[in-house]
Amino acid sequence: MTNRREVLAGTAAALALGQWPRAFGAAAAQPEFSRSQYQRAIVIDALGGVGEIDPAAPDDAPLTPRALQDARESGVTALNFTINEPGNGPDKFMAAVTMIAQVEHEFTAHPDYLVKVLRASDIQAAKTSKRLGIIYGCQDVTLLEGDIKKLSTFADLGLRIVQPTYNRRNLMGDGCLERADGGLSNMGYDLIAEINRLNLLLDLSHAGVRTIAEGIAASKAPMAITHTGCRALTDLPRNTPDAELKALAERGGVVGIYFMPFLREAGQPDPADLIRHIEHAVNVCGEEHVGLGTDGSISAVPQTDAYREYFRKSVEARQKAGISAPGESADVFTFVTDYNDPMRFLHLANDLAHRGWPGSRIEKLLGANFARLFADVWDARRS
């Protein structure tokens, strides 16, 4: 692994959690989450992607053999894949339809590697066939272009996870960057009712605190915050306060902890930061209600000058568009040090085992909790 934090800083953070960094190796006597256990587990990334990160490739470049092999070797059973361009702006409907068409082409081109997830049983089918299950999700609903009736069109195309807002205000409510924190609009309440009617999963990531609270109260079904951190540990807008985490769990929902810069106030997050947020979430929500949503791709982020320039321009573009959140920086990449490779979930599982986590709890975190939530929502029968 390249570009780790300084050895002394990484060691100090790890010792604070009672573990050695993997760079030094784990003692042979320490417990582990074995590769065979991992191969049996359902592993779900509640917000992720597939594909090599190549700054020179066009946005619509097809999947490479390396990306497909990374997906298979990663052991990830399924992931929530974003099919829209977040943020307010024109032509969002067609952009989402175009993205879906591109992914459908990949399904046709690589049936031995990829499978579309439409129901909970498809996740087990993906596991059995050793393919990566792709779940269509959207990050905000600007793709509806103000017409909630279009949600059923996207549901027919395979959309299964719906996030109403993305950082800023839209017609449905306020995102986490809005000063007013006005919560859901009347249309936002109508949207949640339609999400429930269509048996889709409500995802309250990127929402303002009031929007999260009102969304939890309004939904007739369990919901998720697929990718966030704990605001009690790091007071940044993209993280969620304990009161809302607890309310989510009490309604049967699941929170996914991300591998993002927002896990700490400044600097590149490391395993100690991630584990601190995971364990805090478990303490607040209970082990049945916490999972993982990396907000990153399966393949490793390349640490090259070309990527650094690409990433810098990406952050600048987000800042110009007004959707960049506090904690984002051109100097801090969107991954956790030591976990920047396709086997990141196995590495994390081993680090948790070293901390005394039992295998059953690790399996819940890796994917069993989200698999249960998907079944509860997608397969439900409600009036």
Q: Tell me: the pLDDT tens digits for 33-90? A: 999 999 999 999 999 999 988 888 887 889 999 999 999 999 999 999 999 999 999 9
Residue 126 domain flag: yes
- Residue 138, beta-bridge partner list: 162
Rounded Cα distance, 13 and 375, in Å: 38
Neighbours of 329 (CB within 10 A): 15
Rounded Cα distance, 86 and 144, in Å: 12
Residue 139 domain flag: yes
CATH number for position 251: 3.20.20.140
Answer yes or no: are the C-beta atoms of 341 and 300 closer than 8 Å. Answer: yes
Does the pLDDT value for residue 28 go beyond 90?
A: no
Rounded Cα distance, 77 and 234, in Å: 30
Q: Which helix (H) or strand (E) holds 292?
A: strand 290-292
Say what the pTM is.
0.91
Residue 110 domain flag: yes
Residue 256 domain flag: yes
Q: Which residues contact 43 (CB under 8 A, 6 or more apart)?
A: 74, 75, 76, 77, 78, 345, 366, 367
Does the pLDDT value for residue 7 go beyond 70?
A: no
Using CB atoms within 10 A of its CB, is residue 60 exposed (0-12), middle (13-18) or buried (19+)?
A: exposed
Q: What is the pLDDT of residue 21?
A: 41
Q: What is the pLDDT of residue 381?
A: 67
Does the pLDDT value for residue 319 go beyond 60?
A: yes
Rounded Cα distance, 319 and 334, in Å: 16
Sheet holding 254-257, edge to edge: 224-228, 254-257, 290-292
Rounded Cα distance, 80 and 291, in Å: 13
Residue 172 lies in domain: 31-284+305-328+344-365
Phi, psi of 215 (to 5 degrees): -65, -40
Residue 200 domain flag: yes
High-pLDDT (> 90) share of the chain, %: 87
Residue 224 domain flag: yes
Residue 57 domain flag: yes
How many domains would you assign to the chain? 1
Question: For the residues 304-329, what does the mean pLDDT come to?
Answer: 92
pLDDT tens, 135-167?
999 999 999 999 999 999 999 999 999 999 999
Question: For the residues 350-376, what does the mean pLDDT come to?
Answer: 98
Residue 246 domain flag: yes
Q: What is the pLDDT of residue 18?
A: 42
Region of residue 287 (left: phi > 0; alpha: psi -120 to 50; beta: else): alpha
Q: What is the pLDDT of residue 55?
A: 82
Rounded Cα distance, 141 and 204, in Å: 12
Neighbours of 152 (CB within 10 A): 14
Q: What is the pLDDT of residue 286?
A: 98
Q: What is the pLDDT of residue 29?
A: 56
First to last CA, the chain: 52
